[in-house]
Chains A and B, each alone.
Chain A
Amino acid sequence: MELYELNLRSAAEGLKGKKFSAVELFDACLARAEACEPHVAALITKTAEQGRQQARESDERRAKGETAGSLEGLPVILKDNLCTQGVRTTAASKILGDWRPPYDATAWALLKKAGAVLLGKANMDEFAMGGSCEKSAFGPTHNPHDLTCVPGGSSGGSAASTAAAYVPFALGSDTGGSIRQPAAYCGVYGFKPTYGMVSRYGLISYGSSLDQIGPFARTVEDLHLVMSILSQYDPMDSSCFREKTYDFTPCKDGLKGKKVALVKEFQEFTLDAPIADAMTRTRKVIEDAGAEIVEVGLPVIAKYAVACYYALAMSEAHTNLERYDGVRYGYTVSDAKGIKEMFEEVRTAGFGAEVKRRIIAGTCLTEPTRSDEYYVAATKVRTLIAQEFAKAFGGADFILQPASPTLAPKIGESDVDKMKEYEADLYTLPVNLAGLPGLSFFTGYAESGLPVGLQLIGPRWSDADLLNAGLVLEERLGSPKIACALEGTKGGL
């Protein structure tokens, strides 16, 4: 077994047992990344120098017997909307240019404090706006299971690089499904924590009230480990708070005696056949594990969640993106006639088409004469959605549903019908509207070789319970294999 193939726990144990050094692990991962990158293009920036230096320091610490924490010497890839001090951070946009943040995002600072070393910054849809990782100023990322397919998005680079074993784990962000959908497309586990569980400080905002940082890994247990590090209260983020401290110690009784609900309204919607099959199989597995399958109704969500989500996300996004004016950092022009022209030229050239579309939509939705009808109405619908979920969780511990109605689409296919593209997020975005945790888990492979993922969601702050349920699902459904399109099995390589 190659070092890069190790999952997080095995790699941690190997380092602890001094079977290999952090530098050896880092170099193996970097070599794997370099071999795959020409085909997968999951990274915007590789941090070979800094990362190897961090790995060296980790080895030195370990030699002295003073390990930093439970991620000592373990390489990670961060989505490129997480600020890394001194390391270029782009949010996959031209408008940020060569910006090097003067500070670390709290999530990265916590990983670093626990000993993690940075291998690179992952590609994404520009400012996390998209579900395919094609809308990046740096070009598309390819699905490592089939290079002609998208990895999903917006955290496509994080999902693809975890699936292809550049690293044992990566961080992404999820505003409407941006962790869970690419995890499903790439055949890895992806976790979107409860809103407020992980500090957003240093995450470049898209929809502030919806954004949440979370991990990707190739086992559920590894998600437990990363969450135990990330779930810290942070005074730098006013939406980060605690009802209590949360214990992310894995527990294998996660489904016994639980009620798992299927959503009545969703059953009328069409799913790709492999996903429908996976739903049936998983339902059976859940029952076998000692849980009861029940049904809940989410009529408001089925009907209004998509419109509500896009109204709010775009309204917040357009104000979050007002700061990119070329005055202080990033892309700018030097020959504009006046300040107004400067703003116009910078923003016209700096933003991609999808970002502009959402800025314009957000501007219209909050325009004083329309605001009540759209923006304000959406805030009210959001309250109804949260109430509907709360009611549903009165009669169920978890809800089982797809992470996407389709398997990973071909590159270039998903941008054809805008409304259809937005509607594909129906299974993921209600979770963000209500601030719930959601786990995207692997169920197996379709005949095409593409992975099939599903989603389990729980009430707010049930994060640990959800991951424990995920452990049972992984045990019964099987763990994913490392994506190997490169070895010529799929996609013509």
Chain B
Amino acid sequence: MAEELNFTPVIGIEIHIRLKTATKIFCGCSTNTEAAPNTNVCPVCMGLPGSLPRLNIAVVQKGMLAGMALHCTPRQKSLFYRKSYFYPDLPKGHQITQSDLPIMAEGYIEVHDSEGKLKKIRVNHLHVEEDVGSLRHSAADGRLEGAATSFVDYNRSGMPLAEIVSEPDMSSAQEAVEYAMTLQRRVRYAGASEADLDRGMMRFDANVSLKCSDGRWGNRVEVKNMNSFHALEKAIEYEIKRQKKILLQNGEVLRETRHWNDAKGVTTASRAKEFYRKFIVEPDLPPLMIPQEWIDKVAGQMPEMPDEKANRYVKDWNVPQEVADVLTDDRALAEYFEACVAAGAAPVRAANWVRTEVLRVLNEKQISIGDFPIRPEVLAELVKRVDDRRLSTTQGKEVFDHMVEKNCALDEAVKDLGITEGGVGGDALTGTIQAVLQANPDVVEEIKSGKDTKGKKMKFLQGLVMKETKGQARPQEVAEALTKALS
């Protein structure tokens, strides 16, 4: 009986991303993450008595770009609030965040559902806020409770964050992961965030509940502490399984906050009681009024988004969809490809070179496109030379590899490899042909007297010239030059 019940997961996600600005959200301290503990701090981000926050407008700009990348609408008026709770990493005892009137309202992200159809996941809003400091505890489990000593580093305090809150529109862990990955790609494209998971620049909280086919609806559980796509997927899957089991036994899913334990692969009820949080309007920051012209200026900075880019490659340049998707996954790679095209390379050829050769090198060397040694104009030139048959495809790849290895110029690579471009052509070719003709007077005579009706003798001479030039002459040029010499 119980087995026949159907459960539909209802999932919403809150994603925090670090916005890419040179300085913190409410002071002038650097956002450099490599600094020694408590060196990128000042009275403001330390919350010293008497200090006051002042909004870094670059954070609003980046937050707006991130929101625009998710189809959100900017607000001309937005407010800041104080969210109160006590914790040693929170120097003022409250976090400055947004509540009513965040900078960006409703948007969406498209993901594929289980049938592969596109589905819109609504974004409720995006707001900007300050990050807290980071804690390190001496306790074995790395938690504050029970630790003999705890260290606080306020370098992270005041780092600019955007929180993006989705509507509960997802119904599987896979959809949630695709949502998160798409969001990451789009905010990176917008230049709003590096969204680097390994460096803690993107963090996930998920709200999971189950709707049962018998009409029951389980309570919503908030799962925290997921710092990778894998963790996000596993935590949601675990939570769906856990809640299903409870509902199958006619139990009640507790409305609570649970902590994802990545090592054990389980969620556990949060030991800390739900913080009692109060909000008041931040009296030290006046309402943020953004002129429409400023919003328009930011909108003008929005680059083309990956999906739109891929569609353009397919439509305008006949790049295969699959190749276009790969090229547009990373904005820097797409821009590299476009720079090749701008430098004169044929789009489909350039796409294939980037897709196969460039990506191969990036993978082998584990480097990003920014560190790739061949500049796009140079690659374009190489592609052109292969296209013009000045280099054979094999030679082109040899030259490419040589340039990567030696980090040298195109002509230098050609020279190093002893390649004569365009094979032997021009005067050199004329010389070779004359030598071949002089060495074979009989054949010349036969052709001149019109006996080579099937062109076999001509082919023979061509072969000799090709051999003399070690295959570096272009066959068509050889044929034309021979015909000319014999006429």
Contact = CB atoms under 8 A, between A and B. Distances in A.
B286 interface: yes
Q: Determine which residue in B48, B150, B152 has the highest number of CB atoms from chain A within 10 A of its CB, and name it.
A: B48
Q: Determine which residue in A203, A319, A325, A339 has the highest number of CB atoms from chain B within 10 A of its CB, and name it.
A: A319
Q: Determine which residue in A103, A203, A379 has the highest number of CB atoms from chain B within 10 A of its CB, and name it.
A: A103
Q: Determine which residue in A81, A205, A323, A363 has the highest number of CB atoms from chain B within 10 A of its CB, and name it.
A: A323
Contacts, number: 102
B54 A202 contact: no
B422 interface: no
B49 A204 contact: yes
A328 B46 contact: yes
B44 to A, nearest CB: 9
Interface stretch (B7-15, B84-92, B216-224): B84-92
B55 interface: yes
B477 to A, nearest CB: 71
Contacts of A49: none
B280 A319 contact: yes
Contact of A209 (B47, B93, B145, B283): B283
Nearest to A103: B43
Contact of A238 (B86, B88, B144, B286): B286
Contacts of B50: 81-83, 89, 101, 103, 105, 201-205
Interface string B280-324: 110111100000000000000000000000000000000000000
A419 B93 CA distance: 29
B51 A327 contact: no
B80 to A, nearest CB: 10
Contact of A325 (B82, B88, B150): B88
B152 A327 contact: yes
A91 interface: yes
Contacts of B84: 319, 322
A322 B286 CA distance: 21
B284 A238 contact: yes
B53 interface: yes
Given A322-B84, A339-B144, A83 B49 contact: yes
Interface string B44-85: 001111111111000000000000000000000000001010
B94 interface: yes
Interface in B407-441: none
A325 B86 contact: yes
B43 A368 contact: no
B484 interface: no
Contacts of A366: 278-280
Q: Determine which residue in A96, A328, A329 has the highest number of CB atoms from chain B within 10 A of its CB, and name it.
A: A328
B280 A322 contact: no
A323 B280 contact: no
Contacts of A475: none
A154 to B, nearest CB: 16
Contacts of A328: 46-48, 91
Nearest to B85: A322
Interface residues of A, number: 47
Interface string A314-329: 0110010111110111
A99 B46 CA distance: 14
A361 to B, nearest CB: 13
Nearest to B285: A238
B94 A319 contact: yes
Given A343-B86, A368-B278, A238 B93 contact: no
Contacts of A339: 87-88, 144, 150
Nearest to A81: B50
B82 A319 contact: yes
A96 B93 contact: no
Contacts of A237: 52, 54, 284
Interface string A371-384: 10001000100000
Contact of A379 (B47, B55, B278, B281): B281
A285 B51 CA distance: 44
Nearest to A202: B50
Nearest to B87: A339
Nearest to B27: A236
Contacts of A375: 280
Contacts of A315: 280
B172 to A, nearest CB: 34
Q: Determine which residue in B51, B88, B152 has the highest number of CB atoms from chain A within 10 A of its CB, and name it.
A: B51
A198 to B, nearest CB: 13
A70 interface: no
B48 A101 contact: yes
A91 B82 CA distance: 23
Contacts of B280: 315-316, 319, 366, 375
Nearest to A241: B286
Contact of B92 (A96, A207, A322, A368): A322
B144 A323 contact: no
A319 B281 CA distance: 10
A321 to B, nearest CB: 8
A367 B150 CA distance: 31
A201 B54 CA distance: 11
Contacts of A340: 86
Given A315-B280, A371-B278, A238 B52 contact: yes
A322 B93 contact: yes
A375 to B, nearest CB: 6
A67 interface: no
Contact of A91 (B49, B86, B279): B49
A96 B152 CA distance: 20
Contact of A239 (B92, B94, B278, B284): B284
Please list the 10 inter-chain residue pairs (A to B) with the smallest Cβ-Cβ separation, ordered nearest first: A322-B93, A208-B283, A209-B283, A202-B50, A83-B50, A204-B49, A323-B92, A366-B278, A327-B88, A323-B47
Given A323-B93, A327-B88, 10 more contacts: A103-B51, A202-B50, A204-B49, A208-B283, A208-B284, A316-B283, A322-B94, A325-B86, A339-B144, A363-B278
Interface of A: 81-83, 89, 91, 96, 99, 101-103, 105, 200-205, 207-209, 235-239, 315-316, 319, 321-325, 327-329, 338-340, 343, 363, 366-368, 371, 375, 379
Interface of B: 43, 46-55, 82, 84, 86-88, 91-94, 144-145, 150, 152, 277-281, 283-286
16 contacts: A101-B48, A101-B49, A103-B43, A205-B50, A208-B284, A237-B52, A238-B52, A238-B286, A239-B286, A316-B280, A319-B94, A321-B93, A323-B91, A325-B88, A366-B280, A368-B277
